[in-house]
Amino acid sequence: MKQVEEFILLNLNKSSAELSLILSKKPDLPKDYILNQINGRKKAKSKFPSLFDYPNFEFPSPKSVSQASSEFAAIYKASLYQGQKLADLSGGMGIDAFFFSKQFKHIDYVEQEPKLFKISQNNFKVLAATNIQCHLNNAHEFLLNSRSSFDCIFVDPDRRASKTKAFKIEDCEPNLKTLLPLIWEKSKKCVVKLSPMLDIKQALKELPYCKKVHVVSVKNDCKELLFELEFGNKQEALISCVNIENNHIQTFDFKFSDEENCRIEFHDVQKYILDPNSSILKAGAFKVISKESKIYKLAQNTHLYTSESIIPNFNGRQFKIIEEIKLKKGTYKEINVISKNYPLNTAQIKSKFKIKDGGMDFLIAFSDLKNQKRIFRCEKILQSPTYAN
């Protein structure tokens, strides 16, 4: 294994194509294992940075690495709950189980795929997570055979192959419809992690007793939805829009009834343009963010807002307008671009006008109240992080 580890360290910066070519000439080396370790370590730089402290950590297949929670989302998730015992019914790569193990005295990790189970079991030893007990089993069988009760049960259903782009709970495995009755026999609290592609309102119709939904973004990229179910709850679910950036957390809480009953005001462009965090847009808090922040929406289908002044602790980005422009090819070689409700999306604008991302300024393209197509050059406002709304 020393030869394999030396090869990995020497070739960490090689592309997959280069690696495949080199490995084709070295049949004595375990190709799949090496590719998994190099690709995993590359991914870990941004997704699981603390794993670099553990050189013996083994990365599973690219699919498992891709499906795993990012370290930042896992830390946030674990911070929400604590207690004696938690069961992770869809263990996977084990990132969530590992961070939950810092909050609970005992973790039951459940994984039905033998190879992934063995890798994770060994990794928990590498991470010195001695309070995690591993079970090679599926979620249903584990619950049927377990004599334990749990403070919380966590499940991250995997989406089965589907020809449609739409995401539905029924497309997932394990099947939550048949699993939840078993869960309620073992715990009064269940946390379900689902894809951000899911329609939140539809999910609330299918998932009983939902007390809270966490819409979690990392660096303004929406990563996951957490549905917090509490047996017997009859209250309307609170929607918590979360953005994690540079070790700081921004949150904005609302209820769908607040959004439905809220009146929104529109206005032409003022001195500043505001772009809410992706979690707020995913949750559909288009009117309540306007009311709470005392800002105006630019148009019904343009999810940008405007203000005469900087909004302290705004949950999103703020831009000071420099000038309105008519964009021509060659005007800007390097500038950041945002497109909302505009005939060309961001990529198309950059392609058509030969623009590369860079610098401190932004071009913001959108349709206004009169459906006129407008582009403004703006300067991004740097602001202190927000911790709650």
Tens digits of per-residue pLDDT, 34-72?
989 999 999 999 999 999 889 899 999 999 999 999 999
Strands 104-111, 83-88: pairing kind: parallel
136, exposed or middle or buried, with CB in 10 Å at 0-12, 13-18, 19+?
Answer: middle
Cβ contact 22:14 at 8 Å: yes
389 within domain boundaries: no
Task: Please indicate, yes or no, if residue 179 is contained in any of the structural domains.
Answer: yes
Structure tokens at 19: 């690696």
Same domain membership, residue 222 and residue 77? yes
Give the pLDDT confidence score for residue 16 in this predicted structure. 80
DSSP H or E segment with residue 212: strand 210-218
For residue 164, the model assigns a pLDDT of 52
Tell whether 26 and 175 lie within a shared domain: no
The verdict on 115 and 37 lying in the same domain is no
Asked if residue 155 and residue 87 are part of one domain, the reply reads yes
Residues 43 and 72 in one domain: no
d(CA 296, CA 183) in angstroms, rounded, equals 45
> Can you tell me the distance from the alpha carbon of 226 to that of 200, in angstroms, rounded to the nearest whole number?
10
Q: Are residues 227 and 277 in the same domain?
A: no
> What pLDDT is recorded for position 389?
42
- pTM of structure: 0.92
Rounded CA-CA distance 358/97 in Å is: 38
pLDDT computed for residue 160 by the predictor: 55
Task: Give the distance, in angstroms, between the CA of residue 43 and the centroid of all CA atoms in the same chain.
Answer: 15
Say what the pLDDT of residue 172 is.
84
331 in a domain, yes or no?
yes
- Distance of alpha carbon 52 from the chain centroid: 21
The domain that contains 121 carries what CATH number? 3.40.50.150
pLDDT at 388: 42
The enclosing H or E element of 85 equals: strand 83-88
| CA 172/CA 227 separation, integer angstroms | 15
* Cα 371 to chain centroid, rounded: 33
Share of the chain above pLDDT 90, in %: 80
Residue 208 resides in a domain: yes
Asked if 285 and 217 sit in the same domain, the reply is no
Pair (72, 176) in one structural domain: yes
In angstroms, the CA 325 to CA 266 distance is: 22
Do residues 165 and 273 both lie within one domain? no
Quick one: 216 and 353 in the same domain?
A: no
Domain count, the chain: 3
Q: Which residues of the chain have pLDDT under 70?
A: 1, 159-167, 383-389
Q: Which residue has the tokens 């090496």?
A: 34
Instruction: Specify if 40 maps to a domain.
Output: yes
Looking at the structure, do residues 85 and 231 belong to the same domain, yes or no?
A: yes
Q: What are phi and psi of 110, to 5 degrees?
A: -120, 125
The 3-state DSSP class for residue 91 equals coil
Domain that residue 6 falls in:
2-47
Packing angle between helix 31-47 and helix 16-24, nearest 10 degrees?
160
**Are both 144 and 177 inside the same structural domain?**
yes
How many residues in the chain?
Answer: 389
pLDDT digits (tens, 9 = 90+) for 309-351: 999 999 999 999 999 999 998 889 999 999 999 999 999 999 9
Q: In this structure, is residue 192 part of a structural domain? A: yes
> Residue with structure tokens 């071009």?
363
343-380 burial, b at 16+ Cβ within 10 Å, e below that, comes to: ebebeebbeebebeeeeeebbbbbbbeeeeebbbbbee
Answer whether residue 104 is part of any domain. Answer: yes
Residue 254 lies in a domain: no
Beta-bridge partner residues of 226: 193, 214
In this prediction, residue 368 carries a pLDDT of 97
